[in-house]
Amino acid sequence: MHEPARDGHAPIRVLVVDADERVRESLAGLLSIGGHVHVVGTAGDPGAALALISSTDPDVVMVDPRLPDVDRGLGLIRLVRDSAPGVRVLVMSWSDSLEDGLARCGADGFVRKTFRPSELFAAIRAAGVSLPN
C-alpha cells in the first residue's frame, strides 16, 4: 500500500537505476525533497533493477541507458515492459542523441542528467505520472 504524501496524496514510487552509485544517491536525495516522491530503491545493474521492480512496485523506473549487460540499459526497458507493463520508464542520459530512439524501445520519457530539479519533475509528469503541484 502506498503511503500518503504530506498533502494527503500517495507519493510517486520511483526506482533509480544507474551504474554510478553517486548518481543514484544524488537522485534519491533530490527526488525525496518535498515528499511527493518516494524512492523505493536504487540499483546499479539490470538484474538488481528487475528484482526491485518485482518487490517494490514502483510507478516510475529511471534508467541510465549506459548500464552494463542486457543490450545496455535500453534492453532493460524492454524487460520492464514485459515484466511490469504498467510501470513508466524515464531514461536519463548525458547525451541528447538517444532521445529520438527511446520511443522505439518503449521509454515513456527522457531527461538529460544536466537537469534542473524542476526539469526532472516535469519529465516525470511528461512520462504520464501525476505529481501534486
Compute the distance between CA of residue 87 and CA of residue 48 in angstroms, rounded to an integer: 16
> What's residue 110's pLDDT?
79
> What's residue 98's pLDDT?
55
When pLDDT is averaged across residues 5-24 and rounded to a whole number, the result is: 81
Residues 43-62 pLDDT 10s: 998 889 999 999 999 999 99
* CATH topology for the 12-126 domain: Rossmann fold (3.40.50)
From residue 7, how far is each of 12, 14, 59, 120 by CA, in Å?
A: 13, 18, 18, 20
Name which residue leads in pLDDT, 22 or 78: 22
> What's residue 102's pLDDT?
58
90: phi then psi, degrees, rounded to nearest 5: -115, 120
CB of 64 closer than 8 Å to CB of 23: yes
> What's residue 21's pLDDT?
94
Cell of 63: 534508467
- Map out the domains of the chain as residue ranges: 12-126
Residues 63-88 pLDDT 10s: 988 777 656 667 788 888 888 888 99
Phi-psi region of 110 (alpha: psi -120 to 50; beta: other; left: phi over 0): beta
The full length of the chain comes to 133
Closest CA to 65 of 89, 97, 37, 91: 91
